[in-house]
Amino acid sequence: MKYQYSSIIGDVVFDNQFHVVEQGHNLFKKYPNLQEPDEHHKVKIQMAMRDKKFFAAFVKDNIAQTKQDVKRSVIPDNHIVHAVNLLEELDTLINTIVKRLREWYELWNPEFSKSIQSHEKFCELIAIKKNEDLLKEINIDRKHSMGAEISPKDQDAILQLARRCRDLYTLRSSTQSYAESLLQENYPNLCTVAGSAIAGKLLGHAGTGRRLVMMPASTIQLLGAEKALFRHMRNKRSPPPKYGLLFQHPFVQSARKSEQGKHARALADKLSMAVKIDYFKGVYCGDRLKKELEEKFNK
């Protein structure tokens, strides 16, 4: 009587004394009368497989299998989460650097810096236009400006920083478009109900779509309010949070303050449904979910 045993290193045929008869692949065709070992026999076979001659093969094949598993583990959610996190980091980085740029540039041309509020527009204009032209645009003569006369070397340093800030804005814009396209492709219902920005942040907080699907609506409602929640758990005098990231949604912001908690809960319910439909590749019904949400509070 011979027994069959399959493992990561291939097929192994044992005799009734549990000695290896042959090792290889697709041996079951060569030995058509092989028996399936019962639990008692499996223990003896596994003891035999602990022989040192199998160890190198186990290590090699396990490493190869692990590499393949790692390759297959990369899903669109990974790219979405990285893109969303990059957007948040770029916002922080850009705000810090542009603040430094404005303070530095105001040594040279304070009037123009004060005249334009948009950071992005400010970086773009000072990177491509001369200082004299910018002063003319706001009807100020150079000799009446409070800005100091600085050397060409100092001017180059400021303008180089402005060009880098402009490049960061370009990177942010392209990253946002990329993230939105991925979200629309993989989570169309969630994007319709939540909006691309909030949908991305929800996935970023959850880590993957699967984790977001496993969350109840009450957890989705409080994503982003973890500090407030733990503060309430430590001290009951601190009020519990009613919403986290969902506060940014127009549906919640447009409600009266006393009604925002109810709106956030209703929104979380629809988002929970939307992400489940997307994750399990259901049909598109985002418009219907959004309409049902609006009609619930417009009666």
Write the DSSP assignment of 142-179 as a string of letters.
Answer: GGG--PPP--HHHHHHHHHHHHHHHHHHHHHHHHHHHH
Q: What is the pLDDT of residue 131?
A: 85
Q: How far apart are CA 41 and CA 47, in angstroms?
A: 10
Q: What is the pLDDT of residue 12?
A: 72
**pLDDT tens string 229-264:** 999 999 988 899 999 999 999 999 999 999 999 999
Q: Are residues 61 and 38 in the same domain?
A: yes
Q: Are residues 56 and 100 in the same domain?
A: no
Q: What is the pLDDT of residue 148?
A: 86
Q: Which of 181, 216, 251 is the last residue of a domain?
A: 181
Residue 189: which pLDDT band, with cuts at 50, 70 and 90?
Answer: very high
Q: Which of 181, 214, 232 is the last residue of a domain?
A: 181
Q: Are residues 68 and 85 in the same domain?
A: no
Q: Are residues 158 and 195 in the same domain?
A: no
Q: Give the DSSP H/E element, type plus range, for residue 20.
A: strand 20-24
Q: Which of 52, 73, 94 is the last residue of a domain?
A: 73
Domain, as residue range, for 284 = 187-296
Q: How far apart are CA 243 and CA 262, in angstroms?
A: 10
Q: How many domains does the chain have?
A: 3
What's the CATH number where 82 sits?
1.10.287.4070
Q: Are residues 94 and 132 in the same domain?
A: yes
The reply to whether the predicted model has a pTM over 0.75 is yes
| Neighbouring C-beta atoms of residue 61, cutoff 10 Å | 14
Q: What is the pLDDT of residue 172?
A: 97
Q: Position 156: which residue type?
A: D
Both structure tokens of 110: 């304070």
What's the CATH number where 276 sits?
1.10.246.90
Q: Are residues 105 and 51 in the same domain?
A: no
Mean pLDDT computed over every residue of the chain: 88
**pLDDT tens string 36-95:** 777 777 777 677 777 777 777 778 888 888 899 889 889 999 999 999 999 999 999 999
Tell me the CA end-to-end span of the chain in Å, nearest whole number: 77
Q: Helices in the chain by DSSP H: which ranges?
A: 39-48, 52-73, 76-105, 110-115, 119-128, 131-137, 152-186, 188-194, 196-206, 209-214, 217-222, 226-234, 250-253, 260-279, 286-296
> For residue 14, what are the β-bridge partners?
3, 20
Q: What is the pLDDT of residue 27?
A: 64
pLDDT over threshold 80, residue 298? no
Q: How many residues appear in the chain?
A: 299
How would you label 211-228 residue by residue, b for 16+ Cβ within 10 Å and e otherwise? Answer: ebeebeeeebbbbbbeeb
**Who wins on pLDDT, 203 or 28?**
203
φ and ψ of 245, to 5 deg: -65, -25
Q: How far apart are CA 71 and CA 64, in angstroms?
A: 11
